[in-house]
Structure 1
Amino acid sequence: MSHRLQRLVLTTGIVWGLMIHTARAQEGQTPTPIQNISQSSVPNAQLQIQVTGVKVNPTDKGVEVILQTSQGEQLQITNRSAENNFIADIPNAQLRLLSGNAFTFSSQNPVEGITEIKVTNFDANTIRVTVTGKTGLPTVELFDTDEGLILGFIPAATAMQNPTPPTAPLPLPRGGEGEGLEEPSAQQDEPIELVVTGEQDTYTVIDATTATRTNTPLRDIPQSIQVVPEQVLQDQKVIRLDEAVRNVSGVVPDGSFANTRDGFNIRGFSGFFRNILQDGFGITNVGGFNETANLERVEVLKGPASVLYGNLEPGGVINLVTKKPLFEPFYSAEVEIGNYSFYRGALDISDPLNPDKTLRYRLNTVYQNSGSFRDFDQRIQRTFITPVVSWQIGKQTDLTLGFSYLNDERPFDRGLIAIGNGVADIPYHRLLGEPDDVIRLEEVNANYQLEHRFNENWKLRNAFRFLSTDTFDYRAEPVILDEETGELQRNFRSNDDIAKRYGMQTDLTGKFKTGFVEHTLLFGVDLSRTTFEGTQKRLPAGLTPSINIFNPVYNQIPRPNLSELTNVVRDNNNSTNLLGIFLQDQMALTNNLKLVVGGRFDIVDQESKNNLSNTTSNQYDEAFTPRVGMVYQPIQEISLYASYSQSFQPNFATRFDGSFLEPERGQQYEVGIRGEFLNSKLVTNIAAYEITKSNVATTDLANPGFSVAVGEQRSRGIEFDVAGEILPGWNIIASYAYTDAKVTKSNAGLEGNRLSNVPYNAASLWTTYEIQTGNLQGLGFGVGVFFVGEREGDLENTFQVPSYVRTDASIFFRTDNWRAALNFKNLFDVQYIRTTDSFRSAIIPGEPFTVIGTVAVEF
């Protein structure tokens, strides 16, 4: 803090020191109001505090507003109240809601006697809290808890009926001599120091946008959604997305196109790369691994999400929420070094571009160069850069511009192969292709988001994203294995593909009231166009040398030139145009009973041109997908919910007459219990569900080679997730899932088969402890155990993948502006299978024991 402000505070003589209180740290207790007054140093006004959440809870006397801060820093309050409006400015803070709306929070008529609560960024350096009383100025009490700063408000009428509250509040400037507040003069600017002593709550996220595309607390959402926050990504040293989502129940790795892309199975259903979103936009399905260095958090919405995002598999979606520009200068550099010649460096820079901080930027860059435990000559080389600029055009309008570029080169690796009903007994490092098999990716992403707030209740958001991916691979593809001799036939082949996606989203969100029912209405229109063009060329049959999987000999012939791959088996141009219109209403019937109703109408127009046969196929689908759910909260900490939702996905199989099958449809029934304990520091979720996917393509028995839409698949399961802080410094994130996913109808003899890559049981546990005081303060330890049960390797259930238990550990040290860590992955060097591509010659082994050392500095 500047000497000028220090003199001002000392001159006024109003410096309030707050004692540390933990009264509300135990479930069911009422927070103790701040009463002790002492003189202390004034906080540094240049250190901007981020308030990451705002909660409004009714109390027996009125309502409380919780300003959640994860920094544990000092806050100031300047009282500017006038007439019926309690107004408090916090000049060294900014509202950075994790739900995505960084600038404002409002609640209409939360309790009788209070007409509005509004928390907003008044300017680039100040949060303003405004509470409007119906008949007069509300009385305020201040409380200090581990969760943050709590402002308890008593409506004017209630305060008159009970002039002596049960507990004595902390008086604000110009306050009365007794409990409560007199009406202050709006001319007074008397700062008070409030020392908020709450611990960091970095493993818990209590709101997200993926489930409703609005700012909704997770406790009010009637569907299972889990969040992996940035602190978990840092503590586990997450480099690939599958390392993040393994912390979430019901999510396992799935087909990865030879370990070159992110692919996931959610609640038993494979997304084929299409169940991944970035900031709410779908990602083209030919991309590589998603970068994790620029992620703020990962949100996993389980169950059908078509009502908000269109044509998707019914298992769920993974939304990658990227980092945004900050209001204060931030500079971070990180270097990572590990075995297998692993080197990775990252920069994260953010700074305002003008004095009033309405124009800000952020830049994330990554470079990685590493080898592999597999016997490749190729190395992984990866370069990523993403600049983002945010412009606060006015108090009501914001514009964010983003761009990213990714260049990635790595081995193309089909992995191991099956023999009999299991995995071949060969070393896990052995290649069955050639050492110089390779895949290259170049990706460009440009986007913007424009948001305008008409008033406290209505806002309009428009966003656009362009994504282009160019991929090329060249490899010796395993084809047919002689299981008696171990001789594996192969074929040199190459794919060369370009995909482009143009997407636009427009949402109108409004809050209003009809009678006693409060509404949050969302109306939106989505437009997208995706184009894909590509070829696959192969070396003519019989020219590629085979290899013996037990005694391989590589490079038996020089790799053929691309011009020698004269057998063209694919040359196509595809396009998909999508229009989606949706409407959603979130209704608060009472303070503890919420109803969500939504529906979406989609039109999908697809065209596929086969340049080899010079033929064109068209597909036109229309679909309506609803969702309805209810949440009941018998007590503040518990939410009971039930929901029904549907999904749809175009079907690419054809009938005997050449027409496409009707779209696949999914429907889910789900019930669950969500709990938020220890002042929402510890969050739990238990869910039970049943998903049925119908219109699945299966063999037309009357016309072999064609399909009919009579297939059906069903998944039933129970899931449990827990995340948060158990005690100061002790964090945990854990999960368990039981998933029974099988074919229930089929013409191809598959009825009763389990779906591939889906274990009956899977569980995870990761916990860290950081020493809080003393000479070793900042030293921490982490340990994690990850279990995946036995899985079927393909839909025909011809082979099984064994279960495994993998153990990770870490040791780290954090001080003022730097941190160092050692992360040990697969600590006991267990051999395990990460996933399969759902056929016998594509079994992806997991990495053996790996150690990564990290040094990072922030300034």
Structure 2
Amino acid sequence: MTKPISGVRAYARRAWTPAAVAGLAGLALAPQAHAEDAPHEVAGVQVEGHLAAEPVSPKFTADLLDTPRSVTVIPQLVIDQTAATSLQDILRTSPGITFGAGEGGQPLADRPFIRGQASGNNVFVDGVRDSGGQVRDIFNLEQVEVVKGPDSAYNGRGSGGGSINLTSKQPKLVEESSASLRVGTDSYVRAAVDANYVLGETSAVRVNLMGAQGDTPQRNAVDFDTWGAAVAAAMGLGTDSRLTLSYQHLTRNDMPDYGVPLSRKLPGVTPTETGILDVPRDAFYGLTARDFQETTADIATLVGEHDINAAMTFRGVFRYAKTVNDYVVTNPGDGGSAQFVDGQWWMKRGLKSRWNPATTVAAVADVYGRFTTGAIEHSYDIGLELSREKNENASYTVTTTAGSACPTGFTGAGAGDCTLVYAPNPSDPWVGTIVRGPVSSTVSKTAAVYVFDTLSFGDRWKLNLGLRHDEYSVSGRNVSATAVTASDGDWSFTNYQAGLVYKPSPNGSLYVSYGTASTPPTISGGDQNTSAGVGSGNLANKILDPEETTSTEIGVKWAFFGERLSTSAALFQVNRQNAQILVDVGVYAQAGETEVRGLELAVTGQVTPAWSVFGGYTYMESELVRGAYNNVNVGDPLANTPEHSFSLFSTYQLTPALSLGGGAYYVSDSFGGNQNGAGGGANGVYAPEYWRFDAFASYRINERLNLQLNIQNLTDEDYIARTNGVHHADYGPARQAMLTLNAKF
């Protein structure tokens, strides 16, 4: 492969040696911490109730118990005990969230679906939108907050399904440090350091380091290596004026995995009921000599807070962030029809590629607090958001000069392009060049104002209100090999939410709420802003209006056992309208519509001081209400929207030293199909239902050390984790055992 110079790109694997990763963990030995000053907690031993977490954003003007919508907060304790390392790992614990597979305009990156809507563009870090397709690591997270249902009043433009906020670890006035070293099957090793240094009466610095590498269980040749570092310095802690400066870096190298092809993409091959090719779990169609994925992320944040008086606090956030998603990946379902030659099925490898830097500059200002007017108490937040996001996008031209040739008799044979359908070899030889093509770019700008208020009418009634107005614009420069075109568009939209809460007792609430969301056409892909969002056919010269999503929710929240255990139940209906569809021959209109109705149950906390639980159940009845006039999929379930999903992670402390537990996860059939849910589709392809079980054990050696054992996919369930319904499907990882040594200093 040629060396990359001025757009020419080559790839070389990098790996962490076990000694290097172990050395990273050893850095935690340096701080001379005072353990007696820190709250004592090791995995499996809870001295403090860390399951009862609250969102940190001032936009939440009431406690979760009195917030009239479904919000899940996944605390650090659950992150640690489940041995989660990725966004997909941790969101498994929140039912009703699935992940879609990358393809074409969709990136090979985190693509969560919430309540039937693609939400990859609705991921935030500390309340600021985290743009660009990425594969995220959670080494620097305190907790994960998931808002379900349309929430444009909170966050502006969005998919309508909900949003995910990642809350970073912050400095604190407690001198403590910790380290962990995890080893496991499939060459897995991960080391992490979390050290907090108190520099004075009001200042502190927190440092987090992480390094890891491993293979994906039972996915032939699929491996990864990653490292991350984060530092945050704060001054004025515990005073009226506080300032925090933080920086986080992540580098991740993966052998990208596009799973296995769909049988319908390979005419002549025996079709299957699911539409997914019937091959072993370890069948990998990529080329280790060619394929790569590199993800980098750099996030710098400055946060200032000042308590103006007892009723008012100012908070300002400035963020600069840059991410790069860079890959060449074999798409096994995109190379054309399979061919039967000399008694064996052969196929050409398809190819997808992307070079996608995303740069965000954002400023957010809030004024929040409490005051009373007569008999009404107000908890309020008034805010302003300004942001500029630049997305660059290019693909690679991949030229094969030598490699594994197709067999004689294969139509359209090309060196290095062929592999056996039922016995692919990722070690096939390949020599060639990878050259980046022309770079297109898009700049989007947002200016928004918002206000939230929770009005309390005595002890029984609360009215929760939220309103946001956005001025959103996109200007694009699309570059091809033959032409450069410019396009732009702008939108104004206002969204709101309203919820009424009745409290029959201090530890319970009944509520009804309504909310809206707006999805400009430039973000329907879920990963980045694209061009101006013009329509097709008769709408080719018209800027499309945003898609509109509305949600009605009725629910109950109740805390038991001295508010040690929180529970909730909600009925919801989400309607999405205004998607572009074909309403007649050659005639387009914004008339597409989808609907999702459902029930969500959730439980968080401790049933007894020794028994903790976290999880829930979601039922979703989804439907493509109106698609293209000749669309046979009208009435079908939406893509990546299983009817039933269940998760429960639970631990029990048998003795002061020993805790046992595990997780149970169920997902019913999940169909593929058109990702915007309004027209087109391939619901003949689906990921079959599955159960997955995980095991957990923790043993406290002494006050500073404990051992933790996790076995993921305990029964070695062979399951499909996701499919895009068009080209390929992705297997979930096989069984993997991991042993972690946790230390506090």
**Match for residue 403 of structure 2?**
none
**Match for residue 712 of structure 2?**
825
Over the residues paired in the alignment, what is the CA RMSD in angstroms?
Answer: 2.4
- The answer to which of 752-761 and 668-677 deviates more is 752-761
**Match for residue 634 of structure 1?**
504
**Match for residue 329 of structure 2?**
475
SS in 2 for 1:848: coil
SS in 2 for 1:427: coil
Say whether 1:711 aligns with 2:592.
yes
Structure of larger gyration radius: 1
**Match for residue 112 of structure 1?**
none
Please say if residues 35 and 176 of structure 2, whose CA atoms lie closer than 8 Å, have aligned partners that are also in contact: no
Say whether 1:675 aligns with 2:558.
yes
**Match for residue 855 of structure 1?**
741
Letter in 1 for 2:744: E
User: Per-residue displacement from partner, 1:309-342 (whole Å, max 9, x unpaired)?
Assistant: 1101111111111111121211111100011101
Structure-2 change in CA distance of 1:677 and 1:200 (3 Å): same
Distance 1:269 1:701 in 2: 26
Letter in 2 for 1:482: S
Residue in structure 1 matching 2:117, options 249, 269, 284: 269
Please say if residues 596 and 620 of structure 2, whose CA atoms lie closer than 8 Å, have aligned partners that are also in contact: yes
Q: Which protein has greater RCO, CA pairs closer than 8 Å, 6+ apart? A: 2
**Structure 1 residue 557, shift from structure 2 partner:** 5.3
**Match for residue 241 of structure 2?**
397
Say whether 1:790 aligns with 2:679.
no
Letter in 2 for 1:552: P
Structure-2 change in CA distance of 1:372 and 1:243 (3 Å): closer
Letter in 2 for 1:551: A
**Structure 1 residue 260, shift from structure 2 partner:** 5.0
Distance 2:358 2:189 in 1: 30
Residue in structure 1 matching 2:640, options 751, 757, 770: 757
Q: Which segments of 5 or more consecutive residues in structure 2 lack a partner in the other structure?
A: 1-33, 264-270, 400-411, 522-532, 675-680
Please say if residues 108 and 133 of structure 2, whose CA atoms lie closer than 8 Å, have aligned partners that are also in contact: no
Please say if residues 383 and 450 of structure 2, whose CA atoms lie closer than 8 Å, have aligned partners that are also in contact: yes
**Structure 1 residue 393, shift from structure 2 partner:** 7.2
Q: How does 1:307-706 map to 2 (within 5 A)?
A: 307-354=153-200, 356=201, 358-373=202-217, 377=221, 379-392=223-236, 395-419=239-263, 420=271, 421-422=273-274, 423-436=276-289, 437-478=291-332, 479-482=334-337, 485=340, 486-539=345-398, 543=414, 545-554=417-426, 558-563=430-435, 568=437, 571-612=439-480, 613-651=483-521, 652=533, 654-655=535-536, 656=538, 657-699=540-582, 701-703=584-586
Say whether 1:216 aligns with 2:62.
yes
Distance 1:560 1:411 in 2: 18
**Structure 1 residue 282, shift from structure 2 partner:** 1.0
Distance 1:265 1:510 in 2: 34
Structure-2 change in CA distance of 1:477 and 1:509 (3 Å): same
Structure-2 change in CA distance of 1:646 and 1:496 (3 Å): same
Structure-2 change in CA distance of 1:608 and 1:817 (3 Å): same
Please say if residues 208 and 216 of structure 1, whose CA atoms lie closer than 8 Å, have aligned partners that are also in contact: no
Please say if residues 376 and 411 of structure 1, whose CA atoms lie closer than 8 Å, have aligned partners that are also in contact: no
**Match for residue 189 of structure 1?**
none
**Structure 1 residue 779, shift from structure 2 partner:** 0.6
Letter in 1 for 2:373: T
- The answer to which of 740-749 and 220-229 deviates more is 740-749
Structure-2 change in CA distance of 1:702 and 1:259 (3 Å): closer
Distance 1:200 1:453 in 2: 28
Distance 1:375 1:672 in 2: 42
Residue in structure 1 matching 2:98, options 239, 252, 256: 252
Q: TM-score, normalised by structure 2?
A: 0.84
Structure-2 change in CA distance of 1:834 and 1:378 (3 Å): closer
SS in 2 for 1:454: strand
- The answer to which of 662-671 and 470-479 deviates more is 470-479
Structure-2 change in CA distance of 1:688 and 1:653 (3 Å): farther
Letter in 2 for 1:648: S
Structure-2 change in CA distance of 1:337 and 1:554 (3 Å): closer
**Match for residue 780 of structure 1?**
659
Distance 1:808 1:374 in 2: 17
Please say if residues 671 and 686 of structure 2, whose CA atoms lie closer than 8 Å, have aligned partners that are also in contact: yes
**Structure 1 residue 683, shift from structure 2 partner:** 0.6
Q: How does 1:799-814 map to 2 (within 5 A)?
A: 799-814=685-700
User: Per-residue displacement from partner, 1:553-575 (whole Å, max 9, x unpaired)?
Assistant: 45655232124x8xx5x641111
Structure-2 change in CA distance of 1:682 and 1:375 (3 Å): closer
Letter in 2 for 1:820: L
Residue in structure 2 matching 1:735, options 609, 612, 616: 616
Q: How many pairs were matched up? A: 655
Letter in 2 for 1:545: D
**Structure 1 residue 818, shift from structure 2 partner:** 1.3
**Structure 1 residue 525, shift from structure 2 partner:** 0.5
Distance 1:653 1:532 in 2: 18
Distance 1:388 1:432 in 2: 42
- The answer to which of 399-408 and 608-617 deviates more is 608-617
Q: How does 1:93-242 map to 2 (within 5 A)?
A: 200-205=48-53, 207-210=54-57, 213-214=59-60, 216-242=62-88
Distance 2:218 2:326 in 1: 21
Distance 1:424 1:494 in 2: 23
User: Per-residue displacement from partner, 1:380-437 (whole Å, max 9, x unpaired)?
Assistant: 1101000001111782110011001111100111111222442211011111222342
